[in-house]
Every structure is written in C-alpha cells, then in structure tokens.
Structure 1
C-alpha cells in the first residue's frame, strides 16, 4: 500500500491514516462491543465489523497495481 504514495510523502501517507484508523476503530471497538452486548444487540456490532472488513477488502482489491509503473 505504501507504493500508492510518491516517495517524498510515503511515510506520512501510510502512517497518518494508519494512526487515525487505529485510534478511531481500535479505541472505540471495546466500548462499542461492551455497549451492544449489554444492550442485547451484539449482532449489530458483529455486523458492523463484517461490513468494515468487506469494505476494506474491496478497497484493497481495487487498488491499482504499481509494479509495472514506468
């Protein structure tokens, strides 16, 4: 995924979105899991995780190949 960014900004291009995603999703996941479990709608949390995984897989699959770039 780092190859999607020009060499001048490659480190920031990968680390900034990664850090934001980890803070947002990794920080809120335990809270949301506990809340949905106590509310009796844990299936909603599970569904959200599956949807996020599918969205990530589609985004990764649609990335252009950069190995043959001139």
Structure 2
C-alpha cells in the first residue's frame, strides 16, 4: 500500500501507513522518511530496530547426532 501511495506522489501518507507497523517495516519506513527529508527520524527508526545478537544458550553443546 505504501508503495502505491508513494507512486501516486503521496509519500507523507505512505509514511503514516508504515508508522503504524514500524517494527515490521523499519527499512521501508526509513527509506520513505529519507525521501521526504526526515533523515534524523530515519536514523532513529533504524537504530531502534537494529538486529540484536541472540542471547547465549544456557544449554550444553553436543558433537554427536542429532544436532
């Protein structure tokens, strides 16, 4: 939907649509924010939703099947 809005020259509306689900659309949202000159907002979104490394497992490691 955001892509269609942007294609119709309605980027502000596309941003509004994506902001409702920013956690799932952070990359697309950041791109549209940059397009409309909101670079700082884009950086904030990307930093907030940057992938975090997984927590270390408390379990033991095994070298034999099944893995």
Tell me which interval the TM-score lies in, with the shorter structure as reference length. 0.3 to 0.5
- By relative contact order (CA 8 Å, sep 6+), the higher-ranking structure is 1
Larger Rg: 2
State the TM-score, normalized to the length of structure 1.
Answer: 0.34
State the TM-score, normalized to the length of structure 2.
Answer: 0.35
More helix by share: 1
